[in-house]
Chains A and B, each alone.
Chain A
Amino acid sequence: AQSVTQPDIHITVSEGASLELRCNYSYGATPYLFWYVQSPGQGLQLLLKYFSGDTLVQGIKGFEAEFKRSQSSFNLRKPSVHWSDAAEYFCAVGITGANNLFFGTGTRLTVIP
């Protein structure tokens, strides 16, 4: 069965520091991959997505993610975190022929001054 793992439940970084959030998936073929962000009291906003092609994808708010087939990973990165990036981040996997997305359990990001 397919699964999505976000191994870090909570990460704290200083403002201006770099960020990497980890996501691993389990699936036999190349899935569609997504990162969503949920700010406090808000819904989920799409940050970026990977379907095919260039394995490094750029998203909104200065985020990027890299698909690594050999590691079954799709880690999210940002070179310099801003206080407004504090939120919960969800990795999700879509599979051809499936009807829904499979979500990881989320990583909560805290940004300290």
Chain B
Amino acid sequence: DADVTQTPRNRITKTGKRIMLECSQTKGHDRMYWYRQDPGLGLQLIYYSFDVKDINKGEISDGYSVSRQAQAKFSLSLESAIPNQTALYFCATRENSGDTQYFGPGTRLTVL
């Protein structure tokens, strides 16, 4: 969905490096999410935010941090990347008065 963008789309990094993945949306939604996708495991929730001042941990937040710089921007950071964080990362937004989530195109991260 072009209304939710993620940068970069692909990233290869080394163990121990700090990495930031960025997400921007033009949908005007307050709620934003970061998911991780691993083969055979579906999507797992890392962090979510209901507004700029409200950030919450998801199922698998260890090793990750987030920043909600504005309503439209939600960044995911790996402070010290490790190989088992190699995955496809998705940002999503959710309707303010509904339950439908809209996903960005994903960022493929490889940690060597």
Q: Are B100 and A103 in contact (CB under 8 A)?
A: no
Tell me the complex Cα distance, A105–B45, Å: 14
Q: Name, among A36, A51, A103, A104, the residue most crowded by chain B CB atoms within 10 Å (CB to CB).
A: A103
Q: Are A43 and B100 in contact (CB under 8 A)?
A: no
Q: Which residues of B contact A (CB under 8 A)?
A: 1, 4, 33, 40-45, 48, 56, 58, 90, 92, 99-106
Q: Which residues of A contact B (CB under 8 A)?
A: 4, 9, 32, 34, 36, 42-46, 49, 51, 90, 94, 99-101, 103-106
Number of A-B contacts (CB under 8 A): 47
Chain A residue numbers with a CB within 8 Å of B104 are 43
Report whether over half of chain A's contact residues are helix, strand or loop; otherwise say mixed: strand
Report whether over half of chain B's contact residues are helix, strand or loop; otherwise say mixed: strand
CB contact under 8 A between A90 and B56, given known A43-B103, A43-B105: no
Q: Are B42 and A106 in contact (CB under 8 A)?
A: yes
Tell me the complex Cα distance, A87–B101, Å: 19
Show 17 residue pairs from A and B whose CB-CB distance is below 8 angstroms, ordered by the A residue: A4-B42, A32-B99, A34-B100, A36-B103, A42-B105, A42-B106, A43-B1, A43-B4, A43-B106, A44-B103, A45-B1, A46-B102, A49-B100, A100-B45, A100-B58, A103-B44, A104-B42
